[in-house]
Amino acid sequence: MRIGVVVNPIAGMGGRVGLKGTDGKVAEARERGAEPRAPERARRALERLAALAPDTELLTYADPMGESEVREAGFDPTVVGRPGDEETSVGDTQAAVEAFLDADVDLVLFVGGDGTAADVAEVLDDADTDTPMLGVPAGVKVYSSVFGVSPEDAGEIAATFDRTERREVMDIDEDDYRAGEVHPELRGIAFVPVADDLQSSKQLGGGTVEALAAGVADSIESGVTYVLGPGSTVGAVKDALGFEGSALGVDVWRDGEVLVRDATEQEILSNLGDRNVIVVTPIGGQGFVFGRGNPQLSPDVIRQCEVEVVASRAKLDDLGVLRVDTDDPDLDEELRGWTKVRVGRFERRMMEIV
């Protein structure tokens, strides 16, 4: 099998520093101390691919768009081109995909977020090809159903798939997202390997959560620092605590005071106390508790906090299981297992994190 591998090296950089994406914000992300996320996630996927299918022929683009990660995983790739400028662009990603198609690859494996997925899908659509694409999730927002649940899952799917199906490529406007508005837009339909470990398209579910929020408010303890994640469900918790939080950001609250609104990872860490509780809700349609839409809740933050998961019954009925993808496989393993999810003022439901 021949696989073309392209890495968007800036994907997800804006997440932990509170930018909710990197579109048009690369310089600001770097000024805030952001570190690349995509290369390490590419390595994890490629190491899994190497373990399962070491004889796979890989094509890639020159650094920083995949060459080093492919070689570090143990492959000797064919380098089909190199980015034109020091700062990579959409044009570089699309040129790489065009070169892969010219070389008749069996799969385009890309590392990035929804924007990268849309760029890849556009080339495939223009070429009128049934060559499949598969994403290694590395963006802040991952709404499309063309990604593996984790980097390792993507590597395993790439090594083992034997058929494809059409799936949705979604994206949102990041400026609207930063302003608290989410309007997913269908950007394309692409062939994707058939596998159980593909995430679903995100669904924007609703439901009354006032009783649930009141339950969290009732349980507030003096001196405890509460790290309140994004989303409408936790937004109801913020309302119950008496403040208007950031709709899609992370807010830090203690003893009736908002310590930080729309906090970065470092701001969260700087305001943690002796005891800390993260309140987070899974993403509707996907089930991610950590790893989608809330990268500020980094492994360093999570390890210093207790975790309370809250969700409506309807959301949990749709999900079946919960998921995590924190960038730290050891932490992911620690978080897996059965957990209590608050579904009402007093009621909780057992859910499995897989």
Q: What is the mean pLDDT of residues 217-238?
A: 94
DSSP string of 154-172, one letter each residue: HHHHHHH---EEEEEEEE-
Q: Place 25 in a pLDDT band, splitting at 50, 70 and 90.
A: low
Higher pLDDT, 133 or 171: 133
162 CB neighbour count, 10 Å cutoff: 7
Q: What is the mean pLDDT of residues 324-351?
A: 91
**Residue pair 99/72 in contact by the 8 Å Cβ criterion:** no
343 CB neighbour count, 10 Å cutoff: 22
CA distance 134 to 198: 9
Over residues 8-21, the pLDDT tens digits come to 998 766 545 454 45
**Domain locations along the chain:** 2-193, 210-353
Q: Place 176 in a pLDDT band, splitting at 50, 70 and 90.
A: low
Q: Return the minimum-mean-pLDDT range out of 26-35, 149-158, 305-314.
A: 26-35
- Reduce the DSSP state of residue 61 to 3 states and report it: strand
Q: What pLDDT does 14 receive?
A: 52
Phi, psi angle pair for 307, to nearest 5°: -120, 125
Q: Place 179 in a pLDDT band, splitting at 50, 70 and 90.
A: low
Higher pLDDT, 169 or 57: 57
Over residues 104-157, the pLDDT tens digits come to 999 999 999 888 999 999 999 999 999 999 999 987 767 788 999 899 999 999
- Reduce the DSSP state of residue 110 to 3 states and report it: strand
In the chain, % of residues over pLDDT 70: 86
Written as one letter, the residue type at 28 is E
CA distance 103 to 84: 20
Mean pLDDT of the chain: 87
pLDDT exceeds cutoff 60 at 83: yes
